Structure 1
Amino acid sequence: MPAVDGPISGDPADGLEPLVASDKLSQSTIDSLDATTFYNECRVFGRLKELNREEIAIKAYGYMVFDLSNERVQEHFAPFVKARGIMPANPTTADLISSFFQHFELEIPLMAIVKEWVPSNPNESFPAKLTQKDMNTLPRSLRNLRELHKSGIVVRDIQLSQYLGGPLVDFSCAWTIPHTLGPERGLRPRWTFECMAAWDLKCFQERILDRYNAMAGEVPHVRKQNLVAWRNDHVYGRLRTRPQMSGPFLPMLGQFEDPQPMKHRPAFDPAKFDWRAVQK
């Protein structure tokens, strides 16, 4: 997954776009803030390798460095970029490359993670024809998400397009403990990672489980899943009464949406992962 850069927006943690180097913020500073998509993915795959848990995500083989200022390299990318329909007015090949990757300083190398190839239709984020096999991938996907949290990782961008053939494939927005904005630095409250893990689970419930179950109800011989990632209004009717926290509630911290009250705790608080023990 290529590293994609965007404009600076105040606080590095709060901007909706990844950071881009400028006179105000050097690339080395951005790297030190764990703020590039490439760095986010490297840290996730590195953590899974440390724990020997690489099977809970798409397989990663390493990384590559591309010199996009080299015309021969541009020629390899150009057909792919043109096929995606990204066409600025009167574009040069360099314009196409810059627009597609949002990488406007071509003399700066582009870093990319090399991942296992998963056949997919780029125009479909949902199976064209839902099968029981698709439904049967959901329990494992939920277990793997909780294992990521247990391993000190929050995804922060759970949606259908992040899953291809079952495994989670994109960690460009993920944060991994230890992190510049983690609890040890004191720049954010200690509950930040727990609240982001809660948001991951809420998104999995609403954007994946609920949508799959809604579609399964319209397909003959495809059974719904009774999984519960997050106890929202859709699942309360089929759950026995359980204790819940009293307000005021901490906010669930989503990347692109307003905070919502965290009425339940996730199974694991990523901030409690003991990363020092892993490195001994």
Structure 2
Amino acid sequence: MGSVVKANRQLLKSKELPPCEGPKIAMFAHSRAPIEWLELLEKSTPESENSSQGFVFKVEILSKIYALKVFKFYDPSTERHIMSEMDGQTVTDELLAFHTDPFYAECRAYGCIKKVESERRRQIAARCHGFMSLRRKDELALEEMGIDLWENYPEDHEYRAQAEGSPVRAIVKDFIETAPDHDDNSLDLRTLKVILKNVRALNKHGILHRDIRAPNFKAGLLVDFGSAWTKPHCIMAVVPASVSEEWEWDDLADFDEMVEEEGFSLASVRALPNTSYLKRLRSWKV
């Protein structure tokens, strides 16, 4: 067993993740309980990427229904291109993974969301119950369903050669049930106004969602944080301040785009006073 695989196995035995400065979440209380795989709900696919981050399943654990997001494997150096060579000198691949790997991105975001929801006294996101690693039995079940968690990387990829055999990571969330005749992604004006308040609250507490769009909401709640950057964040800390400041606008600009895509007028609800102008400024959006 290689050193990378051993390190990943050890990490997934932690009581909390990720093991770095900033927010984190705890291991799911029933992480060793049997999983009944009921249904593949969807792939988790960021708008800015061609490949998915993972797969979301409807599962049953100890007679309770959950949404289980199973994450693909992720090369720690994937986001290094965002920084210049000089910027990134002090950022290790390990820290980059803890801040940008979709699995750890969700761990950090959900760790902070608890504080946001407590302060705001309202629910903002689908409730998170913790992280877990899958047992070999469940990994085989995924293989039988045709799920390839390495599909983002060819067999000869350097990181895959080092890390293949690592445990599969997952996060357990509430399963949000919707009426059969209701589109769970549909957003009305009232819901959009609540969502805007929630997005502003997330930003205020240091969470940049970076993927605000209708498919990431169910019953008005955010359900996916795989693209989120939560402060302190290693990339935001080393790039020029002007670049980091532009990124701070992205969620609000994306909200306005979502409003228009959903067929509403920005005169009814909008996040920014002049979206078209700010879009032209966002040359560093990633």
TM-score, normalisation: structure 1: 0.57
SS in 1 for 2:171: strand
CA spacing shift, 1:252–1:113, aligned 2, 3 Å: farther
Residue of structure 2 in register with 1:145 after alignment: 199
In the alignment, which of 140, 165, 170 is matched to residue 112 of structure 1? 170
* Contact 2:246 2:284 (8 Å CA) reproduced: yes
Aligned mates of 1:128, 1:147 — CA distance in 2: 23
Note the aligned Cα RMSD (angstroms): 3.8
Aligned mates of 1:65, 1:6 — CA distance in 2: 15
Residue of structure 2 in register with 1:229 after alignment: 271
Deviation string 1:194-248 (CA, Å, 9 cap, x unpaired) is 3223121111111x2112235xx9xxxxxx97001233478xxxxxxxxx99xxx
State the 1:109 CA deviation.
1.2
Please say if 1:65 is aligned against 2:130: no
Q: Give the residue type in structure 2 aligned to 1:55.
A: Q
Aligned mates of 1:8, 1:49 — CA distance in 2: 27
Aligned mates of 2:183, 2:149 — CA distance in 1: 31
Deviation string 1:21-71 (CA, Å, 9 cap, x unpaired) is xxxx99745435x1211111111111122442572222111111124xx2x
Residue of structure 1 in register with 2:260 after alignment: 210
Q: How many residues align?
A: 198
* Contact 1:3 1:36 (8 Å CA) reproduced: no
Residue of structure 1 in register with 2:251 after alignment: 200
Unaligned 5+ runs, structure 1: 16-24, 83-95, 218-223, 235-243, 256-280
Residue of structure 1 in register with 2:214 after alignment: 160
Q: Give the residue type in structure 1 aligned to 2:166.
A: I
Max radius of gyration: which structure?
1
Aligned mates of 1:182, 1:159 — CA distance in 2: 23
CA spacing shift, 1:129–1:156, aligned 2, 3 Å: closer
SS in 1 for 2:222: coil
Aligned mates of 1:175, 1:35 — CA distance in 2: 7
Q: Give the residue type in structure 2 aligned to 1:58.
A: A
In the alignment, which of 92, 97, 105 is matched to residue 31 of structure 1? 97
Deviation string 1:74-102 (CA, Å, 9 cap, x unpaired) is 343246x44xxxxxxxxxxxxx4335686
CA spacing shift, 1:118–1:8, aligned 2, 3 Å: same
SS in 2 for 1:181: helix
Q: How does 1:1-280 map to 2 (within 5 A)?
A: 1-6=69-74, 12=80, 14=82, 28=94, 30-32=96-98, 34-51=99-116, 52-53=118-119, 55-67=123-135, 70=136, 72-78=137-143, 81-82=145-146, 96-99=147-150, 105-119=163-177, 127=183, 134-183=188-237, 187-206=238-257, 208-214=258-264, 226-232=268-274, 251=282, 253-255=284-286
TM-score, normalisation: structure 2: 0.56
Residue of structure 1 in register with 2:51 after alignment: none
Q: Give the residue type in structure 2 aligned to 1:109.
A: P
* Contact 2:250 2:285 (8 Å CA) reproduced: yes
Aligned mates of 1:173, 1:151 — CA distance in 2: 16
Higher strand content, 1 or 2: 2
State the 1:191 CA deviation.
3.7
* Contact 1:58 1:116 (8 Å CA) reproduced: yes
